[in-house]
Chains A and B, each alone.
Chain A
């Protein structure tokens, strides 16, 4: 729940992993399935004498994001060096932005704790290069040695910094979900790839110093770490221990945060303008990027409501992921849009979430066929859910692809009227006590008989229809 004294701001590192080459060299970004140190060159390894060259496409992507986050794009932008020693940083400085970042002063809307739209202000958006990755031989505190993989080194990162506008861990999570959604809409980002998003959270209680919880990669992890921090800071305050400005590490296994360093130990990064790069006048690029900006989630939601006459909640659910929104639009062209909205937003998404899989597991063609069978009364709603589950549970099995075949194979077709009528007759005969109760004025007793009918038809009867037939049978006698 939103708590008035909780103040949260986020710094989100987003890897622009839909780019084909790295930020300052021509190395391929497609390294996730490759051996370590196979996607490197003299430039991203920082060999003596090499120089960076800005990937213009990366700048375009960054402008795209900054525009979508409603930032002011700066006329001229500049790279700086951030100097520090770490083995994953082969030049011993990171090329990043400092003064004159690409975008300033943006905002995005999230659904706040009270269910109302809430505006979260974005302080700045800037570009930087990703360092390499350390792999420890064992756990970080016990490892005898560590290895470095420079495949990631030089990947384009965007840092998105918010104002301290978030008031609860849940709001932080909805911000991250919304940000990811926007990034995927922009086609600059694939959130499923490892290390795609890394989040630093600043959290404080009113009147106290802030703690920065560094480098969490999952939205759920951020929510949990922040919840832990609130409890920790509150209990410290109750005990009269003042929070000091510090950096903390989130231990995902134990679900706790641990202090790494205090303000006094903070680095002096000795920022200065990167002399190997020249200032970029990006003002001239903006109109073209703006013109090519795709429809964003909020706009798409409004359009869905207007165009397909569906409920706002359904539209919000459908547009919360670009792949689902695209899926819906394909289905809605070939099936009744409102029926499709209900089945995709309420049923299919739930089944996908339950299995923790994406909508790529399901085809729009399958959805259209299922909706068609529902609409024509060939299957009951219950059976339709069963079809969806069966297909998802047999993903990859070519014999379980076609919904019509699934209905046939599992005998899920709606029972013919005669069969239902026969089941009703049998049920009435077998349920003497329930019949007596009904006749004595207990209307609810009819539910028992309907249950027997459903059992006899193995669920293929429509419950409403069965209810009507049982009532007819009883009243007619």
Chain B
């Protein structure tokens, strides 16, 4: 789809008209996918493009950005009151890359506050609605990005994925989302929730679109010490993922982890995933059952690590230098305590408190260190399952069930946390994964998760593309698209 858009623009279609049409659509929309639009700068850039078109992998292509990714001159508030009005003086690495390749930033998308959630309901700006059923959540935390892409309010978007925050909303909204290998995409400029787990990645309508955006944003960045060295990834300005799409699945062996099926999984979801496995088999892939025996510890380890890191990352928000300010200042201690009390929502406070507790003297060994050990075991599970002679890729459901109703789970954090059971192990292991549409249950999209070896995004994309070409699910259009 991006290819058609690019070809149209190259053939003389007006970028200004494309961008204006998108803004009109956004303004008519009831989805609340955006929390801030950069209409003026986007239209100006589009006009400039029309006057004197430039080149690049995304020349003239409008793109939406999750509110946790820093954009110079555009408010980046992470859907939190405490960052209201914060306008970064610098661009994230991925934003620099998008601009270098000619893209046009149209706005910042709604999200769970500081990416803490699975439904985009914890946003201080109200929930985003699922375009397939506006009574339902779009998933989270990158729910705004997913809903915008699914509803045609953005041709493509960036999200961030700490424990499923790209794949979950991609699955709930019936689109494609990639969580890259940890270290493939620079985190410089991504407002940290849990540094050791998260990656920025694309949300798009098709595998090809997602691969194109990934081509743009992947690559080494010396400003991120956890960014992989050049020889492990590919040189910037080259297309590495797009050409791998056409290779098909012949010769690939798929592993089906036994722990990802059964109890707690919606039967329709389970059926759709098995149908997908059969389809891939028809296309020439082999498959076998594998085991990831430490899966049952993943959620606990994930939440301890994520909350611990978050408690430290979010401590800097005190209203002193930027963000929320309340009435008259008192002494520093009182002022910053009041700002934090008023600025953070209940889920963020819950995670800060739990994380602070887990890192406290006397508990560190019992919680944080133990969680790190579990993380190592889970990583080894994946390395074993994906070792030479084992499987090349793993296939699982992305989410155990389709999108739930707004308000249905928000009062029960544990049941919300449980929804992440198939996505968090991937972040703990640092391996890449994609979610692609694989069917519907009661009119709601279902996502297929394909997981690969470290830095082997190419194989994931290859399988996802072959599957997409052989199925109609990505062509379905949600009700809410006007």
Contacts and interface: CB of A to CB of B under 8 A. Distances in A.
Interface of A: 42, 45-54, 81, 83, 85, 87, 90-93, 146, 148, 268, 270-272, 275-278
A326 B301 CA distance: 59
Contact of B356 (A48, A270, A275): A270
A352 B92 CA distance: 54
21 contacts: A47-B88, A48-B191, A49-B70, A49-B76, A49-B191, A50-B188, A51-B224, A53-B223, A53-B224, A54-B225, A83-B359, A91-B315, A92-B318, A93-B312, A93-B315, A270-B312, A270-B360, A271-B359, A272-B308, A272-B364, A276-B192
A271 B356 CA distance: 11
Contacts of B224: 51, 53, 276
A278 B226 contact: yes
Contacts of A275: 194-196, 226, 309
Nearest to A26: B223
A148 B332 CA distance: 12
A355 B361 CA distance: 51
A46 B316 contact: yes
A146 B223 CA distance: 33
Range, interface on chain B: 35 or more
Contacts of A276: 187, 192, 195, 224-226
Which 4 pairs between the two chains have the least Cβ-Cβ distance? A92-B315, A270-B359, A275-B195, A275-B196
A52 B225 contact: yes
Contacts of B320: 87, 148
Interface of B: 68-70, 76, 78, 83, 86, 88-90, 92, 187-192, 194-196, 222-226, 308-309, 311-312, 315-318, 320-322, 332, 336, 356, 359-361, 364, 368
B360 A49 contact: no
Contacts of B308: 272
A48 B318 contact: no
B312 A49 contact: no
A46 B76 CA distance: 15
Given A47-B90, A49-B189, A270-B360, A83 B315 contact: yes
A439 B288 CA distance: 125
Contact of A49 (B88, B196, B315, B359): B88
A91 B318 CA distance: 10
Contact of B336 (A52, A53, A85): A85
Contacts of A83: 311-312, 315, 359
A52 B226 CA distance: 10
Contacts of A51: 187-188, 223-225
A272 B90 contact: no
Contact of A48 (B88, B364, B368): B88
Secondary structure at chain A's binding surface: helix, strand, loop or mixed?
A: loop
Contacts of B83: 48
A49 B190 contact: yes
Contact of B225 (A53, A91, A92, A268): A53
Given A83-B312, A90-B321, A92-B318, A278 B225 contact: yes
Contacts of A91: 315-316
A277 B225 contact: yes
A153 to B, nearest CB: 11
B312 A272 contact: yes
Contacts of B69: 49
Nearest to A270: B359
A146 B191 CA distance: 28
B316 A92 contact: yes
Nearest to B337: A85
B222 A53 contact: yes
Contacts of B356: 270
Contacts of A81: 312
Contacts of A53: 222-225
B76, B83, B190, B225: most-surrounded residue (chain A CB, <10 A):
B225
Given A275-B309, A276-B187, 17 more contacts: A49-B68, A51-B187, A51-B188, A51-B224, A53-B224, A53-B225, A83-B315, A87-B318, A87-B320, A90-B316, A148-B320, A270-B356, A270-B359, A270-B360, A272-B309, A276-B192, A276-B195
B445 to A, nearest CB: 31
A275 B78 CA distance: 21
B226 A268 contact: no
A361 to B, nearest CB: 43
A85 B189 contact: no
Contacts of A49: 68-70, 76, 88, 92, 187-192
A436 B270 CA distance: 129
